[in-house]
Amino acid sequence: MLKRKILNNLIAWKNDRKHKSLIITGQRQIGKTFVVDEMFSKYYSSYIVINFLKEPSMISEFDGDLDVETLKTNILLRRPGSEFIEGDTLILFDEIQECPEAIASLKFWTEDGRYDVIGMGSSLGMNYGSEISYPVGKVDYLNMYSLDFEEFLWAMKIDEGIIDKVRGYYNNIEKMPRTVINSMYDYLRKYIVIGGMPEVVNTYVETGDIHAADVVQRRLIRDYNVDIARFADANIRIKAQECYKSIPYQLTKDNHKFQYSKIESKATATKFGTSIAWLNNQLLTIKVCGIKRFEYPLEAFSDEKNFRLYPTDIGIYIGMFDESLKKYILSDGKMEDKSDSLMFGTAKGGIYEALAADMLYKRGYNKLYFYKHEKSTSEIEFVIQRNDEIIPIEIKAGKKQANSLKNIVEQNKMLKVGYKMASVNIGQSTNGIVSMPMFMLMFM
């Protein structure tokens, strides 16, 4: 059984006396139903589950009045023996995007307050043409992701005390023993090739076989392409598939900027831009826009046309390449060394950027940016906004000097700190630059 952080969020939601109905969003097959099932098993006596994709006939039960008593009657007629126990019943509307009226009904379940209701769907917000009456102000929202690196370490049976000790090095900006760094990098490389999709992680935990995990991973990628064909509007589905499939080629270029011409000659944002927006709404990709300068708020100085695109799970990204790439990643004992693999040597920079995007995204940074100077080689792979701080993060596959970061921090006095994530120990310079191993992004 995989331990997930989101269960703590669900417990906090339940314990909040003024909690509303809850909508959980996240990409497909990341374990949303599993976590809610676990929540029921520990904290409720009655559990009523309606999956609108599996049982489309249930949609008609929401065609009429949406008051709680009417809906209870409809459900009891369809599900004899169901129990509505006040204060001790959890109701799950799974694949709720298939029934817009069920989404609208969350308002009335919240106002009634006798039962805890969760609406869950991977496609919420992606069907542009549907008219969904969202219960504004009457629901809480919770985003869920595939396993992050810390959860992956739990799955690998790493003692939480060890992880807390590593967290202490991060918090105190304290040098780490080299043996600990090497061991953490061994697990980080496994995380890169396996990723955080629960079924893939479980397969590896149970078998210890990277190939068996790879088979599951590639099936999931095929499933995502099928989902795109199924759920995307007819006018964008092929374009969305092509954009998604092109990500590995986009990130192996010297310039990682997403270029529509890599999909189709003379292609433009007018033709493909909606497809990118759809992929982001479906939570399949992370769009990282360039910024023109380091000023608050970053969004006001971003360029929507100048962007990079990453999958939301590093394992899914690696699964888009040939399986042989995984062998080189796992054997890459020294990140700073030039690989003897032509494929790995080309893909390496994009891999570590995709890894950083995965780790930051799963820490809740839903808006990521990058900076690249128009007239020089100065570049910062990620820029985040934390409270009222702007923080540049330079990603290095080896031990190279962070010259871009140094120059930018010196030139922009409002930047109090910058991070260099590389194959280095922990340290801090007088100009505010903190150097850390890549795996420390799990604590940022």
- Span 80-100, pLDDT tens digits: 999 999 999 999 999 998 899
Instruction: Calculate what percentage of the chain has a pLDDT beyond 90.
Output: 76
> Is the pLDDT score of 149 beyond 80?
yes
**CA count, 13 A, side-chain hemisphere, 443:** 18
Helix (H) or strand (E) run with residue 406 in it: helix 403-411
pLDDT in the model for residue 230: 84
- Span 48-91, pLDDT tens digits: 999 999 999 999 999 999 999 999 999 999 999 999 999 999 99
More confident residue, 367 or 133: 367
pLDDT in the model for residue 402: 60
Closest CA to 124 of 93, 102, 98, 91: 98
E strands of 230-284, at which residues?
none
- Dihedral sign, CA of 259, 262, 268, 271? negative
- Span 359-395, pLDDT tens digits: 999 999 999 999 998 777 789 999 999 888 999 999 9
- Span 239-248, pLDDT tens digits: 999 999 999 9
Query: Is the separation of the CB atoms in 395 and 382 below 8 Å?
Result: yes
According to DSSP, residue 40 is labeled H
**Distances, alpha carbon 33 to alpha carbons 40, 105, 153, 391, in Å:** 11, 20, 22, 35
Query: Is the separation of the CB atoms in 153 and 188 below 8 Å?
Result: no
pTM, 2 dp: 0.92
Residues 6+ apart with CB under 8 A from 15: none
- Span 314-370, pLDDT tens digits: 999 999 999 999 988 998 655 545 555 555 667 888 999 999 999 999 999 999 999
Neighbours of 113 (CB within 10 A): 15
More confident residue, 399 or 104: 104
Mean pLDDT of 424-437: 92
pLDDT in the model for residue 421: 95
pLDDT in the model for residue 430: 82
Q: Which amino acid is at 421?
A: M
- What average pLDDT is seen over the chain? 91
Do β-strands 433-437 and 427-428 pair in parallel, antiparallel, or remain unpaired?
Answer: antiparallel
- Span 189-220, pLDDT tens digits: 999 999 999 999 999 999 999 999 999 999 99
User: Where do the domains of the chain lie, and which CATH numbers do they carry?
Assistant: 6-143 (3.40.50.300), 149-443 (no CATH)
